[in-house]
A and B are shown apart, each in its own frame.
Chain A
């Protein structure tokens, strides 16, 4: 169970991070046919040339914000997995696709974390594309960064757990 107040919580509970990790692996395996591997590191993506899918799973008490961080080459490769052809990275369709993948991931996360009592719903996704991007995570709420290596390249899943306002 997640404490109602997060003031004293330094880390996202391991039961949540493990279930989110499982959802990332499931989601990308169902898209590409092969499971991405979790890469134990400090998880930082560094300066990013790529695209970020943003979505949240929330209920009245808590919000789990998810940032799916994809370098350009990974995003283009995944587009081929998803729609059968490579999308131009600069196209509007790329933003649409990464938003949709974020939505699929959030659906899996929402179903998965119900197992530990977090019953929530997904927000609508957004996507941000750019170069030389620095990703800042909130300083107070507990956060987690996870790196994965898939067949189309590396990617990250950053998350923050906060109280819903």
Chain B
């Protein structure tokens, strides 16, 4: 089985390491990591690597924020099947809404996160063989976004 190619975007090297360590500890799959230190760097690597399968993206970064990066990726078209997981210190509901709806992200994890929280968030995107699944996740993702919307609207 091949490794899942994951793009980890954060201006903090410590946080990139924390994301990778959490993913490795979960043993849901084997990952081949590509790292980027801001949105611009991430966009360049997303386009040059060509086969990124999942992305973990910080929000608050220099040059290009995580939401701007996420929007830029989605605006390219043809990549809605690639999960974008926002991993960020921003935790107000307005920010969650912005990331999911304006940014086109699929999921939202607040820092500091636990491996358990990471597992619950990304488990739906990885099958028992450690490979990416997207079809069933699309429906659950819709439910997840609806859940946030219901909180925001309540």
* Cα-based distance from A44 to B94 in the complex (angstroms): 35
Q: Is A54 an interface residue (CB 8 A)?
A: no
Chain A contact residues, majority secondary structure: helix
Are B91 and A83 touching (Cβ within 8 A)? no
Known contacts A83-B18, A122-B89: A107-B12 contact under CB 8 Å: no
Are A111 and B91 touching (Cβ within 8 A)? yes
Tally of A-B Cβ pairs under 8 angstroms: 56
* Cα-based distance from A98 to B60 in the complex (angstroms): 15
Q: Which residue of B lies closest to A93 (CB)?
A: B14
Q: Is B150 an interface residue (CB 8 A)?
A: no
Known: A30-B112, A82-B14, A122-B89. 20 other contacts (CB 8 A): A31-B112, A82-B18, A83-B17, A83-B18, A93-B14, A96-B14, A97-B12, A100-B12, A103-B12, A103-B89, A103-B111, A104-B112, A107-B88, A107-B89, A107-B90, A108-B89, A110-B90, A119-B94, A124-B60, A124-B62
Which B residues lie at the A interface, using CB under 8 A?
A: 11-15, 17-18, 21, 60-62, 88-92, 94-95, 110-112
